[in-house]
Amino acid sequence: VFHNSAVEPALAGGDIGNGTICDCFGVTRGSFYHHFNSKEDLLGLWIKEKTDELNQGYTEDPSKSAKDNLRELLLGYASFLDWVGSDLMHSTLSTITNGDRAIWYGILDPMVNNSTARLIEKCQAEGSVCAQHSVEEYLRLYTSAIIGACIRWHLDSEIDIVQEIQMIFDMVFSK
């Protein structure tokens, strides 16, 4: 939907109105609302598409430990969040408070995909993370911490979100 589109740079810039979106796609507002309930629906779809691209482009490096591969995968998402910007992430997070959890889970699902789960299992097998917690518990804790970091990032623009997520990774996936 968004490849080579005039809307992608505008979306990454954060504060974009429906009129700008319609102009970029060359559609009327009526057509926009026929396909999307809100701007946040479109933003969620765009972010999901970008995270799907990250997943498809990721290849595990057999010369690295499972934990190093997991770090590389998850910090790839951190770099993407940094590129997207705190305002857009805050806008997307705000949809949760309005009861639209589907958008957020559409974004999180690719981040906690089978590759992530498989790498956590490998980390447990190699002993680089604690095996007493389930993969689901690790994923819940990590994603909860990421949500908190995104909120803090929006409130304090001085936060380096990649560094923050690196710290979260180190804390969550310690022995």
| Cβ atoms 143, 108 nearer than 8 A | yes
Half-sphere exposure of residue 106: CA atoms within 13 angstroms, side-chain side = 19
pLDDT digits (tens, 9 = 90+) for 122-161: 999 999 998 899 988 898 888 889 888 988 998 998 999 9
**H or E stretch at 124:** helix 114-126
Q: Residues 29-78: pLDDT tens digits?
A: 898 888 888 777 777 777 777 777 777 778 889 999 999 999 998 898 88
pTM for the full model? 0.75
* SS3 assignment, position 110: helix
Cα-to-chain-centroid distance, residue 97: 18
